[in-house]
Amino acid sequence: MSLFQYRLPEVHNMLHSKEISVSELTEVSLAAIAKHDAKVHAFLSLNEEGARQTARALDDKLASGAARGLLFGLPAGIKDNIVTKGLRTTCASQFLDNFQPIYDATVVSKLRQADAVTIGKLNMDEFAMGGSNENSSYGAVRNPWNLEHVPGGSSGGSAAAVAAGEVFFALGSDTGGSIRQPASYCGVVGFKPTYGLVSRYGLVAFASSLDQIGPVTRTVEDSAYVLQAIAGYDAQDSTSAKVEIPDYLSALTGDISGLRIAVPKEYIGEGVEPAVRESVLAALKVLEGLGAVWEEVSLPHTEYAVAAYYLLSSSEASSNLARFDGVRYGVRVDEGGGLLDLYHNSRSRGFGPEVKRRIMLGTYALSSGYYDAYYLKAQKVRTLIKQDFDEVFQKYDVVIGPTAPTPAFKLGSQTEDPLTMYLNDILTIPVSLAGIPAVSVPCGFAGGLPVGLQIIGKEFDESTVLRVAHAFEQNTDHHKERPQL
């Protein structure tokens, strides 16, 4: 049994009683990576010497009796679009193959303050653009439950690393479902906080009005610990929210008696695989047994969410990625033809096909004469989607449905059909457009692959989302299942 099968408080008790050391825990992580990662391919860079150095310092701290951080000694993986000082950060793109950040993202600094150990950087879709992790320019991640299937994306490396037992927890980023969908596909817990709750400072921007960093963990309790450590106002992020951070762990009471659940008919209707629908309906019965009540509702603008999302996110991407010009960052292809040739050659060779597709789509949507027809209209749709959720939350505490309409699909099965690929995010994108919190927790299996239950909450009401997820988890065994690698 891996040490990573234990709950966080159990690991901390073992450290405190000197049954294990932080150095030993770090070696468990590195050994698991050595054993499994040739098959899973979750890591792009390892921080072996840095991790061992940090572990030794934490062992000294433990021996001295000094106060310990919330995530003391826990090995963590960081998605490769979150900058880490002196540790290569590529965004899984050839454009940043040689990029060594000179500062830490705020979340990385917070993990250090919480005494976590950074093991390395995790694979992803290039610049977080993709839902299968097949867009990484360093090769696809594979799903630990079935190596012929995708792990989801774009935080596929984060979810696969936790599912494979390579790290205790990981950080991912979620723009349209990039934490929740891979968590669903890999049978782990993925939490997307309310927009503004966790600082984006140091997250390489894809779509700034949607991007959010969150934890990928094995259990809901671990997710609450990591969220507690990384949430909070940051003056270096202009979109950071000045809100009081509650004690998320105290929300894990197991009591959901009287809870009111809304189940959108659009989330369990056409396009949702029957086995996924059955898993969600079975989960609702579990919650009913705990005293909750649920009713079917409608979120009528759901069908427009995917189109609006790809217009908005691609427009923001075309602007954000303009900084990658061969002058300041990463790849520089200068063949002596002048400045315009430098731009053209650097961007042509540095970016992969999906990134180029979205830059072109976004540039077109923002161009003169088309702004009102596409970008402005998409913003109006976004407002309608947010209003749908606001109306439902006047009567209900949470919204529940599947995280994804199907379990993980086979590698290569959708790469030639980007529209079908985009539709895999149809149940996570509305939440991102509304900027509200949601978690994916394991709720069953279909064809031997995990199925995720999505629990959506009101703005800044992460506590209720965690409470419901924890109550469900503690009354089921899905989260105890582990892939055989």
**DSSP annotation string for 226-248:** HHHHHBS--TT-TT--------G
Q: Identify whether 45 is a catalytic site residue.
A: no
**Looking at the predicted structure, is the pLDDT value of residue 329 above 90?**
no
> What would the mean pLDDT of 5-13 be, rounded to a whole number?
91
What number of other Cβ atoms are within 10 A of residue 214's Cβ? 31
**Mean pLDDT, residues 114-118:** 98
Contact by Cβ (8 Å): 416, 481:
no
- For 242, counting Cβ atoms within 10 Å of its Cβ (0-12 exposed, 13-18 middle, 19+ buried), the class is exposed
Looking up tokens 């310990």 gives: 68
Catalytic residue among 29, 79, 93, 432: 79
Q: Which of 136, 178, 199, 240 is catalytic?
A: 178
Q: What does the longest C-alpha to C-alpha distance in the chain come to?
A: 71
**Closest by alpha carbon to 424, among 239, 156, 106?**
156
User: Per-residue pLDDT tens for 205-221?
Assistant: 999 999 999 999 999 99
Q: Which residues contact 105 (CB under 8 A, 6 or more apart)?
A: 82, 83, 84, 199, 201, 202, 203, 213
CA separation for the pair 312, 380 (Å, rounded): 11
Q: What is the pLDDT of residue 48?
A: 98
Nearest CA to 470 out of 253, 188, 285, 146 is that of 253
Residue 302, pLDDT > 90, answer yes
User: What are the angstrom distances between the C-alpha of 251 and each of 13, 231, 447, 465?
Assistant: 22, 16, 34, 9
117 pLDDT above the threshold of 90: yes
Task: pLDDT band for 52, please (50, 70, 90 cuts).
Answer: very high
Q: pTM of the prediction?
A: 0.96
Map residue 355 onto helix, strand or coil.
helix
User: Distance between CA atoms of 131 and 48, rounded to whole angstroms?
Assistant: 29
Q: Which tokens hold the place of 374?
A: 């596409």
* C-alpha to C-alpha distance for 212 and 192, rounded to whole angstroms: 7
Q: Are strands 212-217 and 189-192 parallel, antiparallel or unpaired?
A: antiparallel
Sole residue written with tokens 């010497």: 49
Query: Mean pLDDT throughout 156-180?
Result: 97
Residue 154 a catalytic site member: yes
Pair type for strands 449-456 and 438-446: antiparallel
Q: Are 136 and 126 in contact (CB under 8 A)?
A: yes
The active-site residue, picked from 132, 154, 155, 199, is 154
For residue 104, pLDDT beyond 80 = yes
- The answer, yes or no, to whether residue 420 has pLDDT greater than 80, is no
Could you tell me which residues come within 8 angstroms of residue 290 by beta carbon, excluding any fewer than 6 positions away? 254, 256, 257, 471, 472, 475
- Over the stretch 227-250, which tens digit does the pLDDT of each residue have? 999 999 999 999 999 999 999 999
Taken in order 19, 51, 72, 74, is the CA torsion positive or negative? negative
Give phi and psi for 171, each to the nearest 5.
-105, 140
Tens digits of per-residue pLDDT, 375-409? Answer: 999 999 999 999 999 999 999 999 999 999 999 99
Q: What percent of the chain has pLDDT over 70?
A: 100
Mean pLDDT of 9-24: 93
Cα 155 to Cα 161, 270, 475, distances in angstroms:
10, 27, 28
Contact status, residue 95 vs residue 351, Cβ threshold 8 Å = yes
Give residue-wise pLDDT tens across range 425-480.
Answer: 899 999 999 999 999 999 999 999 999 999 999 999 999 999 999 999 999 999 99
pLDDT bin (cut points 50, 70, 90) of residue 330 is confident
Is residue 202 very low, low, confident or very high in pLDDT (cuts 50, 70, 90)?
Answer: very high
User: 432 catalytic, yes or no?
Assistant: no
Rounded Cα distance between 420 and 68, Å, is: 47
User: Cα–Cα distance between 2 and 27 in angstroms, integer?
Assistant: 12
CA–CA separation, 369 and 388 (whole Å): 30
Q: Give the count of beta carbons closer than 10 Å to the beta carbon of residue 257.
A: 10
Contact by Cβ (8 Å): 428, 447: no
User: In whole angstroms, what is the distance from residue 180 CA to residue 197 CA?
Assistant: 17
Lowest mean pLDDT among 1-10, 22-31, 233-242, 292-301: 1-10
DSSP structural state of residue 323: G
Give the single-character DSSP code of 414.
S
Q: Average pLDDT of 2-20?
A: 89
- pLDDT tops 90 at residue 5: no
- At 325, the pLDDT band (50, 70, 90 cuts) reads very high
The whole-angstrom separation of Cα 383 and Cα 435 is 11
The partner residues of 170 in beta bridges, in order of sequence, read: 77, 216
Q: Does residue 1 surpass a pLDDT of 70?
A: no
**Helix, strand, coil % (nearest 5) of the chain?**
45, 15, 40
DSSP 375: I
